[in-house]
Structure formats: C-alpha cells, structure tokens
Amino acid sequence: MLFKWFSRLYHAIVFIIFLGIFVYLFAPILVEAKPISNAFINEIHYDNIGLDVNEFIEIAGDGSIDLLGWSLHLYNGSNGEEYKSFSLHSWLYIEPISGFGILPIKVTGLQNGSPDGVVLFDGLNIIQFLSYEGVFTATSGIAEGVVSTDIGVFQGPTTSVGDSLQLTGHGKLYSDFIWGESQPSSFGAANVRQSFVGNNLNLTPVNEPSSFLLFLFILLRLFKKNI
C-alpha cells in the first residue's frame, strides 16, 4: 500500500516537471498566436519652401482591417515626448482590385525633424515607430522607452510645395517597399511608383499551439495510466 502511494507521488512529480518544461517552451508560441495586422505608414509630408502647407501622414494596409481603436502618435525628437495624437476610424479609400486601404491624415504643425517621429498603434501593439532626420528614444506616451527607426529620407526648406516622402515598390508588406526621395504627393491614393498585390494581405505567420496540446494530451494519458 505504501509502495503504491509512493509510486503515485513519483509519477505526479514527474508529470508536473514535464508539464512545467512544456509550458516554458510553448508559452511564447501561444502568446504569439495572434498575427500583427498588415498596415503601415505609407507617405509623409512635413516641410517645404516657405510656410509649411498641407502637412499629412498617410496609412496603407489590408482594407479588411477595422481601424476603430487605432491611433497615430507624433513625437518630438528633441525631448522624446509625444506632442499630438489622432484616433483612426476607417479607410478613406479601398482599392477594388488589390483590396488595399488608404487613409491620409492631415496634420497641422507636423514638426520639421532633426529628428521627429510618428507611432502607428493598433490599440494593443505598436505597429511602427518611424522617424525622419535621425533616431531617438521616446520618453513618454505609449512608445516610452522604444527606439525609432529612421526612414532614411527627409524634406527641408527647399522641398517643393506639394511634394512628399513615399514608399515605392511592388508588394503587400511594409518590407516590400522602400522610402523614396520627395516627389509629387499622391495624397489618398497609391504612391507615384507604388503598386499593391491583392489577396491574402494579412500574411504575418501564426504559430499554432497544436504541438503543445498534443504533448499535454500524451502526458495526461501516461499519468492516468500509471496511477
């Protein structure tokens, strides 16, 4: 009787140890199971000859995404602080063939850099923290402690009125495009040298937790068999 009790205790301890190991290994997979939405900052205009006019930031992405709860947050690179934010609601235009959505946001007083930046936030995750004319770390707001990524191109006091910085290329993900020098603005539409690929736009890989569940099922069966 005592031997049987010790046997059950032994198997219970082994089960707990193995369960702990598998939870430790597979917990990151379970956390990452939700894909990140395929949307990104697509075009920016912040500086031009004379008084700055028609400043804006444009978002592009999978037109099936519900933008309710999304927001843009503007950051001052000199002190890392957030100075303005905008709530997003819905796409202004969705291309009928590619299904890509476009949303331009007019921004009066968009700071002229050296450096400054903008955060795209989906209500849960920072999708992007891009900056122009340098890199800096946010010191306040939702991006506090996050380092920006410089887009590598900029505008200045000699930029023509009506020009903007735009992603160029052909694809469906932010990584498919590159930032180009200032050219005539395409406010509210695909950029001058840009085309979108349609269908299956939300392509961020999703790790399935099926292996974890299988291992858990096997351990449970073995535990029941041995008690």
Instruction: Give the tens place of pLDDT for each residue, 64-109.
Output: 999 999 999 999 999 999 999 999 999 999 999 999 999 999 999 9
Kind and range of the H or E run holding 12: helix 2-31
Local structure of residue 198 (DSSP, 8 states): P
Kind and range of the H or E run holding 225: helix 210-226
pLDDT, residue 163, reads 98
Q: What does pTM read for this prediction?
A: 0.74
119, 72 contact by CB (below 8 A): yes
Alpha-carbon distance of 126 to 21, in angstroms, equals 31
83, with CB counted inside 10 A (0-12, 13-18, 19+), is middle
36, 125 contact by CB (below 8 A): yes
pLDDT grade for 210, boundaries at 50, 70 and 90:
very low
Local structure of residue 47 (DSSP, 8 states): -
Alpha-carbon distance of 130 to 154, in angstroms, equals 12
